[in-house]
Each structure stands twice: as structure tokens, then as C-alpha cells.
Amino acid sequence: MSHAAEKNPSKKDLNKIKPYGDHWDDGKMQFSFTLPVPAGELAREAARLYLEKLGFVHPMVATMEPMGEGYTFFVAYGYATASIELSKIPLHKPEFPVVPHDQLVDLAHKQVRRKIVVIGATTGSDAHTVGIDAILSIKGIAGDKGLEYYPFFKVVNLRAQVDNRHLVDKAVELKADAILVSKMVTQQDQHLEDLKVLSKMLREEKRLSPHLVRVAGGPRIDHRIAKSVGFDAGFGPGTKPSEVANFIVHELIRKISGAPAHSAPHRVDGEGHAPSRPKRRSLFGWLGGRGKDS
Ligand code: B12
């Protein structure tokens, strides 16, 4: 197919796709990997046969370099036969409306009537602060202002290398409504271990708000992963603070109203013509006991 489809776009199936190497649908892929075998002819053949075992057609090792004693690093090519149908891919995204800034301010003002306390940190031994700063700091990222810009948020950024226990204690002390955790270092799945431990602590800490919104983020975090370790939502690369602001407000209101999670409306981007929302019971019962600007 491929060459013909390249010349005649109408022959391209834009739904059922394969990797693109030299031409449409050729399935050509590049691999880089290491095998625990010294560099040499045996290593090269092992790498080639391994790709063949994985189902790649005509595998070819382009580069082989020793990687310390007893290891070899390869760059190889091969042709994939499998294709993927885009229309059958389930996307794991948090579902919530995204409304413009003024509407969100209005919503928070009318429905919450006090500051929403947001506490954020990068946890464990992870020293990366840029991601969490991008979400929280007033300067934001790519022209999208951070949570500090929103008049209804009280933002506390604990920065990096924050111990889980310290984060939970701070959340209790500040009466947090939302906890935002950034994870950058993912070696040996340390990010997931840390998030699981934190999640358990949050579940067991009775002094926290029962409506606490838990959000995780980072380059290798997505919604599915975050949910699997007990968070309400996960945000990955390219996240804009305005999305996070929208999620927190809508999720807090949803939790307080007692609406089930799956009834949250689908995410609506742009000008925020959100679908009509279910009637909620008054928030003031729960909010009444808290300072307006606490
Ligand atoms: C800058 C940087 C550093 C700086 C950090 C400075 C600082 N103050 O943050 C310094 C030099 C200190 C550093 C150190 C290290 N780093 Co570093 N670092 C980076 C680098 C180049 C950029 C990260 C960054 O700032 N991105 C910009 C921000 C804006 O993007 P982001 O983090 O993805 O955030 C966005 C989203 O993910 C999301 N998001 C992120 N967090 C959150 C949180 C919430 C709640 C939400 C909603 C959204 C959200 O929103 C953000 C905005 O869109 C990355 C490589 C890369 N290109 O990503 C490596 C990288 C993260 N570092 C890496 C490593 C290994 C290290 C070191 C271990 C190196 C070493 N051997 O010493 C140490 C770590 C020490 C430690 N204890 O953590 C690896 C991590 C590998 C892994 N997956 O485990 C990376 C990927 C580089 C690599 N390819 O190897 N690093």
C-alpha cells in the first residue's frame, strides 16, 4: 500500500495507523535497548533475534556499543505489522468543565464564598520544583497564570523534597481543601511508591477535610496512573494551571454536594459552555463553620 497511499492521500486510513518511517504505513520503528551480554557477534545476533521474537519483520542492528563490562547497547530497526485504531482508544482524562477565568471566579465566589486552601509540594527525595511552581506560582507557564493569580485561592507551596508526613501535617494545620503533588523522578517507580504511601496517610488522617481534593502531576503522570494510586486526578506534560484551577473548584463543589464522581460533566474546553449541572445541596452547611478568609 504505502507508496501509493503516499501519492494519493485518499488511500490513507487516518484511523487505522502504523508507525511511519520512510513512507505511509511501512511500520518502520527504531529501538534502543541494552542486553546483558558482552559486545560481539553473539550480542548482535541476540539483539536481532530478540526483535524478531517480538514480532518485528526484518530487524537490523544499526549500532552496537559496549555499556560497561558484560553489557551492550543497541540501536536497531524493524518493521511492525500491527496497526492501531484511533477510534477505539479510551482516553483517561479527568472529566470537568473548563470555564474562562471570570466565570470560575464567579462560581467560586457564589458557591464557596471563602478562600480555597491549596497546598502543593514535590515529595520524597525528588528535588524538582519547576513543575509545581508552574502550576502554583503567579507567573504560571506559557502565558497561563498560576493558581496564586486566582483571588479565591490561598496557595501554600512547600517546594521540593517534602516528607509525606510533613505535607499531611501541614494540610491539617492549614485546613487544606486541595493537595497538589508533583513527581518528576520515576526511577524504579519511586513516584508511584511515594504517592501510594501519601494516599494511605491521607485516607487515615481523620483531621483532614472529608472533601479534600487530591491531585498529582508530572511528566510521567496521567489520570489513569493517578487514580490507580488513590488520587482524584492526574495531570501530565503540558498541563495549564487554568485546567488545574477548574478541576479543583468543580471537584470541591462536587465532593461537598455529595454528587457521585461519574456524574461529573464531561470536560468542556474553550469558552466553557458547560452542560447543565445537577442541582446541588447548599454548600453553606459545611462551609459555614470555616473562616471566610482562612
Ligand atoms: C531542570 C531539571 C533538573 C533541575 C531541577 C531544578 C528545579 N529547581 O526544579 C536539577 C538540575 C536540580 C535536576 C536534578 C536532577 N534531575 Co532533573 N531534570 C530537569 C529537567 C531538565 C527539566 C524539568 C523541568 O523543569 N521541566 C519543566 C516543567 C515545567 O515541566 P514538568 O515538570 O513536566 O511540569 C509540567 C507537567 O508535568 C505538570 N506538572 C508537574 N508537576 C505537577 C504537579 C501537579 C499537582 C500538577 C497538576 C501538574 C504538574 O504541569 C507542569 C506544567 O505544564 C528534566 C528533563 C526534562 N526535559 O523534563 C530532568 C529530569 C526530570 N531529571 C532527571 C534526573 C535523573 C535528575 C537527577 C537524579 C540527576 C542526578 N543524577 O543528580 C537530579 C535529581 C535530584 C533529586 N533529588 O531529585 C531525570 C528524571 C528521570 C526519571 N524519570 O526518573 C530527567 C527526566 C532527565 C532525564 N531525562 O534523565 N534536574
Range of the domain at 173: 101-274
Question: Do 239 and 135 reside in the same domain of the chain?
Answer: yes
Mean pLDDT for the chain overall: 89
Question: Do 130 and 43 reside in the same domain of the chain?
Answer: no
The Cα–Cα gap between 217 and 85 comes to 28
Question: Do 26 and 147 reside in the same domain of the chain?
Answer: no
92 within some domain: no
Tell me how many domains the chain contains: 2
Q: How confident is the model at residue 133 (pLDDT cuts 50, 70, 90)?
A: very high
Angle at alpha carbon of residue 154, lines to 121 and 197, rounded to 5°: 30
Look at residue 92 in the predicted model and tell me its pLDDT.
Answer: 82
Interstrand relation of 57-66 and 72-79 (parallel, antiparallel or unpaired): antiparallel
Nearest residue (CA) to ligand 1, atom 89: 185
Mean pLDDT of 189-210: 96
Element (H, E) at 224: helix 223-228
Question: Do 64 and 39 reside in the same domain of the chain?
Answer: yes
Question: Do 55 and 153 reside in the same domain of the chain?
Answer: no
User: For the chain, what percent of residues have pLDDT higher than 90?
Assistant: 80
Question: Do 130 and 6 reside in the same domain of the chain?
Answer: no
Q: Which CATH number fits the domain that encloses residue 214? A: 3.40.50.280
Mean pLDDT of 144-152: 98
Q: How confident is the model at residue 260 (pLDDT cuts 50, 70, 90)?
A: confident
Contact between 194 and 164 (Cβ < 8 Å): yes
Task: Show the cell assigned to 103.
Answer: 466565570
Q: Which CATH number fits the domain that encloses residue 80? A: 3.30.30.60
pTM for the full predicted model: 0.82
Question: Do 52 and 106 reside in the same domain of the chain?
Answer: no
- DSSP string across 189-204: GHHHHHHHHHHHHHHH
Question: Do 247 and 159 reside in the same domain of the chain?
Answer: yes
Question: Do 73 and 133 reside in the same domain of the chain?
Answer: no
Torsion of CA 154, 158, 160, 161, to 10 degrees: -140
Task: Show the cell assigned to 58.
Answer: 526484518
Q: How far out from the chain centre does Cα 252 lie? A: 19
Domain boundary, last residue among 87, 117, 133: 87
290 within some domain: no
- How far is CA 119 from each of CA 148, 151, 194, 216, rounded to the nearest angstrom? 11, 15, 17, 12
Question: Do 50 and 108 reside in the same domain of the chain?
Answer: no
Q: What is the widest separation between alpha-carbon atoms in the chain?
A: 75
Look at residue 278 in the predicted model and tell me its pLDDT.
Answer: 35
Question: Do 67 and 106 reside in the same domain of the chain?
Answer: no
26 within some domain: yes
Q: How confident is the model at residue 30 (pLDDT cuts 50, 70, 90)?
A: very high
**What is the Å distance from ligand 1's center to 237 Cα?**
11
The answer to whether the Cα torsion of 19, 21, 26, 28 is positive or negative is: negative
- pLDDT reading at 84 higher than 90: yes
Domain boundary, last residue among 87, 112, 137: 87
Q: In the annotation, is 183 catalytic?
A: no
Q: How confident is the model at residue 282 (pLDDT cuts 50, 70, 90)?
A: very low
Domain boundary, last residue among 87, 115, 139: 87
Q: Crossing angle of helices 241-257/101-111, nearest 10°?
A: 30
Look at residue 207 in the predicted model and tell me its pLDDT.
Answer: 97
Task: Show the cell assigned to 202.
Answer: 491521607
Nearest residue (CA) to ligand 1, atom 74: 127
Choose the residue to mutate in 185, 190, 231 for probing ligand 1, maximizing ligand atoms within 8 Å of C-beta: 185
